[in-house]
Each structure stands twice: as structure tokens, then as C-alpha cells.
Amino acid sequence: MVVVVLVVVVLVVVVLVVLVAVVLVVEDVDVGGLDVAAVTVVGAIDDCDGVVAVSAADRSAQAEVIRSPQVIRTIDRALTPPTIRSVVGRVPALASTAMSWELSEDHELLRATVREFAEQQIAPHAAEWDRTCHFPIDVVQAMGDLGLFGIVFPERWGGGGGDFASLCVAIEELGRVDQSMGITLSAGVGLGANPIFRFGTDDQRDQWLPDLVAGRTLGAFGLTEPDGGSDAGATRTRAVLDGDEWVLNGSKAFITNCGTDITSIVTVTARTDDGISAFVVPAGTPGMIIEPAYDKLGWHASDTHGITFVECRIPAEHLLGAPGKGFRNFLSILDDGRIAISALALGSARACLDASVEYAKQRDAFGGPIGRFQGLAFQLSDLAVQVENAHNLTYKAAWLKDQGRPIGQAAAMAKLYSTEAAMDAARLATQVFGGMGFMEETPIVRFYRDAKILEVGEGTSEIQRLVIARNLGLPVE
């Protein structure tokens, strides 16, 4: 009897020792550096698709370890830092977990902050701004005070040093309330400040970025020309070097943020002896003529003009980037912009879905709420799927950019899908609201008018399909 008791005690002690050893090994896993213990847990990783490749013999044992609470907590701590950007280059892909573009708590805190600002400072006035085509400089600068124009830029120039996903969150939330203010932020960051940050000299950055990043001023991006449209390479604007000055002649079309009282610069492409180059033209430069504002279908509170250059002289040092590289550089800017427009479209689609669902619950007809009818409920269900897909495409593309990976295909897919979803959402919302959907007193009318340009600006839907098809290896022309 004593022997049996001793054997039992010994077995219990052995089991306890083994369990303690396992816990210590698991807790020692360094996910940030992915040391040997972690490699043993997760196996070999294929960087192309994030699929975990483990041997058949090890699969069962590894699965049990991966599912253990200690490993899950350790991985969670490593993958949910204050910002996504802090993970870049530090944590290799951990199968589908690290490939996730799920937004962090900090992103959601930013979302709540921007949503509160938009609902308090923008929503009460958006309809009036739309009706009068008013560009609210005070609100734009308040967006700057909130730090929205500086989200993605380094602290050296007054930025927040955040990731691109954070900018997309801000654009989405502004777009959920007012598309005009959403595009003002998107263009101000991506098309105004970004070319200076990406391709400017240190002197150019020091001169222009602090005010652009703070939202005290706005920059504009002059690529499109009246006869060019989607053929951005058909640039006719010319720049000729005359001594220590460049002389510009030509015209640009559909330029956002170029005619406001706080516009400080316009970056433009022009044909030179070296090819298409880019230049920085300060606002108010003689010879740069800002044409009257366009009478637009939508985006009424957004500033949009044509520009004409007549013997416009700028200093030679206002060349932006290397000679002949302006067209290539500007096209790379458009990839970022397509993700931002996708976020803007997502905001519009989500606003239409939310408004439609709420209306379908409250609007009574034929003895009850109209949302009880399958014909309507199923359409809204389909729209909810579109919105979810748009969200995933948008933030996957943003995540790829934050990871430093190629984004051309992902950006085109996100923009194509999200913008067409926004147009579908606006159309359906108008149908759900019925006669009220045709009345200016509802925001649905404004979202309907604003949605169409999303399928055109930053590259039409046809151009996005062309990009996607070429990336598939198709010989499409």
C-alpha cells in the first residue's frame, strides 16, 4: 500500500514538473524576434501567402501548443501594439494572424475622435455648405488642429508619425458625414503634401511641409490636363529652363484645393527636354491663373478649379525630384490616393447602409416596418456584404503599404470595388427612402450626387480594371 502511494506521489510530481517546464518554455517565446522556440511552434512560414508549413508528424503537436492560452496571449501582445506601424519590420508574418489587417484599439480610438469631430463640427453644416458651395476654411484648419493632415508624416515636420491605415480611418469617418471634407483631407495629404515629402529636397520639405502638415495651408496636385483625361502621359504643358528659372506654359484640369485662400503650392507636371518633370509652383506666382470654380454635380464644398500657365516663371530650384522623373513619381502618388479614395467611398457606403437600415426599421407601410419585407431586407443584406468587403479591401491595401509591400494591384482592387459599392449604396438608399430620398432635406441626396465622382477621380473604374488585368498577365490594351 505504501509503495502504491509513493508511486502515485512520484507520478504527480513528474506531471507537475513537466507542466511547469512547458509553461516556462511557452512564456519564453519572443514573438517580436521570432526566436528558435517560436519557430518550433509555428513552423516554416511562406512569406508569399502566410501559409504555415509544418511536417505531418509535427502538425498535431504544434496545433496543441499554438492553441494554448499562453501562446495566444503572447502573440496577441506582440500583434496589438499602439500602432500598426510599430510592428513593421519587427514581427515576421505569423500565418493568418500576422497577415490580418484588423484595426487596433488605437485605430478605433482615432475613429471615435474623428467621428465625434465630424458629427459636431461638420454634420450640422454640411447641407448648407453643399447648397451654397461654401469651402469652410475654419473647419479645415480645425481638422489641422486635430492633427489629421499630419497623421502619416514624421515628427520632424510636425506630423504624428502614424501609419497609412490611420489616415484611411480619418478619411472614412469624415466621408461618412460629408464627402467634400473627406476629399479635402485626402487630397491635402496625398496630393498636396505627399509629393513634397516623397520627392522634395530637404530645403523644399523644410519650406513647405510644416504648414501643410499642420493644416494651416493646402497643396494641390496638377497632373490631369483638359485633353488628357485618363491618358496622364499625354502632357502638353511645357517647362523651359531660361537661365536660373523655369518657364511654364499650358493648362491643368479638375485640380482639387488649388483655389482656396489657404492654398500655398501646386505641384505640376510639365514636359521638358528630359521627359515629363515635376515642379513646385507657389500660390500667387505671376502667370499661374486659377480659373473659376467648376459647377459640379457633387462635392460642392470641395474646392476644384482649372489652372492655366502663361509664361509662369519659377526658380530653377523648384524642380521637384529628378529631371524627367515627374510622371513616374506622380503615378506612384496615385497608388496611395486610390487607397484613400477607397476609404472615402467606404465612408459613403457605410453611411448609406446605416441610414437605410434605420429608416427600414422606422418607416411603416402596409401595417408594419418596411424592413420586414424580404425584397428590401435582402437588398440591404447584400449591401452589408459589399460594405464589409470594401472595408477588408481598403484596409488590406493600407496594411500592405504600411508593410512596405507592393500596393498597385491591391489599391486598384480596393478603389474599384469600394467606389462601385458606394454608388450601389447611394442608389439603394434612395430607393429605400422613396420620395424622401429625392428631397434635399435628407443627406441621401447629397451622398447620391457625391458618389459618382468616386468612380472617376484618381483613375476611372475602367483604368482600375486595366491595371488589374495587366497584373493578371493579360495582354489587354
Catalytic residue list: 458
Alpha-carbon distances of 301 from 98, 170, 189, 337, 397, rounded to whole Å:
40, 18, 17, 20, 28
Hey, what's the cell of 241?
Answer: 529652363
Alpha helices per DSSP H over 264-369: 326-362
Handedness of CA 100, 346, 337, 113 (dihedral sign): negative
Identify the three-state secondary structure at position 218. Answer: strand
- Amino acid sitting at position 410: A
Query: Euclidean distance between the first and final Cα of the chain, in Å?
Result: 88
- Amino acid sitting at position 415: K
User: Are the C-beta atoms of residues 53 and 46 closer than 8 Å to each other?
Assistant: yes
CB atoms < 10 A from the CB of 261, how many? 10
Distance of alpha carbon 136 from alpha carbon 301, whole angstroms: 8
Hey, what's the cell of 179?
Answer: 464627402
Closest CA to 401 of 472, 333, 336: 336
